[in-house]
Structure 1
Amino acid sequence: MPLLVSELIFSSAASDLKNALGELKKSNLSITNRLRSIKQDADFVLSVCEVYKLPLIANERCGSWYIPSDRKTGSAYFKSTDGHFGQWSFSLRRLNLQVLNIVEQHGGCIIVDSTRRGKGMPDALSKTVPIWIAVLNRLLFPEHPESHTLRTPSEVVSQSEHSQIEARFPLFLAGMCDLNVDLDGLRSTLTRPMRPVWITPGGTLDASSPVESHDYYPIILVTASNRESAGSHNVSKYVQGAADDHESWALGLDPAMFWANMQQLLITPESELPSLISRLVVEAQASTNVRTPTLVRPSTTIWITNNEAAEHLYRDFDFVVHCSAVASVDVASILKDRYVHLACSSGKNGSRQLRKELEKLSILRDILCPESRVLVTCETGRDLAVGVVLAILCSLYSNDGTLHDQSTVAMSKSLTKQRLSWIMVSMPDASPSRATLQSVNAHLMS
């Protein structure tokens, strides 16, 4: 006699088990567990720092979560995607040259990152940074061929993958050379080649290990997250790579807020965390957020900041180019024709609106003088303003950073890459979106 559907209980039982495991996983990924896991991983990072006595650099976006704010010396922007299999790259946008000053000043540095469940080391640390080190060593120290070797962790990167990465180095070097970066200036900044050293939780911390050398500066690459501590994902309260994708779970909390309020956050019950975090976010947004203007070198006249800073500093500049949904009545009334408002909202819409608004910059060609101080602003000072400065530098400025004396400039992709590198070297945390750069390219090439 065939079985009746009502007698088949296993499918519903399996569904119930799946739902239960799903709820358990969700509870394990709670904000409380994430924050406690971050604190645990940060303690490991500080233990590495105590052993090697080198400054801590956060590999953004998540590295800052694992470094107390008062212990962070700087930030770097090495993308894991540049180390993904088959996509190996040396970023011409994120040159990370700001790291060199820290390395020279302190005799090396510690770069901190993490990775999610299933991996022992992020691709940014196993491949992207090693590529960066080998490229810069080859360019800055041609007389030290022993420093030109690409070094990758053998337990993570196979010999086949290692060889495939090495085969791309001629392209990496050619791309960097096309930017016309001041290599002599960099050689005066960094006096020794660099060498990567990898540290992961569970490894041995030995201050006598061969990281100190008169021939190299050690770049210690620390994976904060602990694959071994996770245990069974469905029962452990530890969350590997807990800070990743914080936009999806942190409710607006950022690393600075976390470290400023860490003790309170860790003892607050999960049910009360959303309201606490909401209050902290509101308080942070209400505080003054004046970004110090950044000079984009080699120019001596183009500066970038955020809109809030512009409201306080505009009198120090001859011209203000202001990206915002609404014009500043006060600044416009005082500067008059020396104020250019580009009507752009925030986000992707603003980036798309920028393409048409950039046409307003044509008035600068006739009114700028070589000594004119120009301040360019947007809401964050990191996206739309960067695109506007890129358009100005490509259209009006020469290779030496001075105002161009001709009515037209030959546009090319090489030119935009060079000018963008000026901005990224001067302002490492600049973060122009793809949509913003597309608008600028469309404007320049039209």
Structure 2
Amino acid sequence: MATYADPRPSSAYDFAGAAEPDTASAQETAWIEVIRKMEEVYSDLISYEVELEEKNTALEEAQRFINSVLSAVSDILIVCDQRGQILQVNLAFLRLTGHAEVDLFERPLEDLLVGDIETLRLCSWIDSGSGADREVRFHSADGGQTEPVALNCATRLDHRGLPAGIVLTGRPVGELRRAYEALKQAQAQLVQQEKMASLGRLIAGVAHELNNPISFVYGNVHALSKYSERIGTYLDAIHGGCSEAMREKLRTELRIDATLSDLPALIEGTAEGAQRVAEIVRSLKRLSFSSAGGPESFDLAEVAGKAVQWSASGNRGNTAVGVELAEKLPVRGNAGQLHQVIVNLVENALDAVAGRPGGHISVSGSVNAGHVVLTVEDNGAGIADDILTRVFDPFFTTKPVGKGTGLGLWISYGIVRDHGGSLEADNRPGGGGRFTMTLPSAALD
């Protein structure tokens, strides 16, 4: 029986026969690994897509939120690149100018500004990086101009912190001006009311001061009129050729001797009363509230004395008023304005102790280290700690409605400050309020 012999070595046969199942297994394993990797990549892509969609949704929400905020802002907003071309504006700017947003994109800002000079000023202002407001006008869509706008500039930075353009914000100043003018007018009216109230208190004090000498003069004139009638009757009888007995009788009945002896005193008293009235009138002229004449040197002691005298003339109740002033308190400024300040301080002190048993206020003045110091104190309830820092605020008052405007101390504070001095409020150690006015001393002319 013939035997078939395989020409390949047995070892080769064994190797080939063993290799076939190992290669198939390796390929299958590789494909499984590839499929697994593809599934992982696909899963990652799905996750990335979901995450990207979530971020895109959040970005859209943020964009809508920002746009809604920008649309709701009443101030105008302009965003430009470094070349000055417009990138974005808000609804307030579109309403102001009447332009459409699509017409403004990448348009040079200077094309919208009115006037070449204004453009140059704005450009130099932007280049300098100044943030102060500048007033400009814009061309409107109908060919006209907008009302003035107070524009403010700020540098816009990129993600690296480098300049990437500018952001301009602004507000039409027409409405602000109208509101400001209305506020100024209301303030002026209130200040005028407070001045009229101070003037009313001054007039009340002056009227009381004038009443005494005028009453004295009136009484003397009335007596002189009666004496004139007596003397006239006596002289008529003498010139009529009356007898000596009748003359002596009339002399006794008409009290001619007593009348003649009273005449010098009556005339002197009348002249003194008239002189007192003249002094009060001269004081009023010197204490004019107008500062048109400019500052002058004067004695604050004299001004304070008259202010206390006239304020205390209408003293409410039995309040004791003590005055202790140095012989001379030389200052420079407007006597009428400082008189108003002292009257206001004294009036406030009188109000603080009104109706209080044993009420007392004191006014003292001295010269200390080149300054004149005038203090007004009372023994009232004092000033509460929570309002001590607010007493000089405008419109702040502790008085009932209709009794005060809250401007007296504010005006007084401004007057003293304009004179280079200070006005301070505190409480006395023994109780009660105290106001201290300090002014630079000056040589009297």
Shorter-chain TM-score range: under 0.3
Question: Taking CA–CA contacts closer than 8 Å with sequence separation of 6 or more, which of the two structures ends up with the larger relative contact order?
Answer: 1
Higher strand share: 2
Higher helix share: 2
Higher CA-based Rg: 2
The TM-score, its normalising length taken from structure 2, stands at 0.17
The TM-score, its normalising length taken from structure 1, stands at 0.17
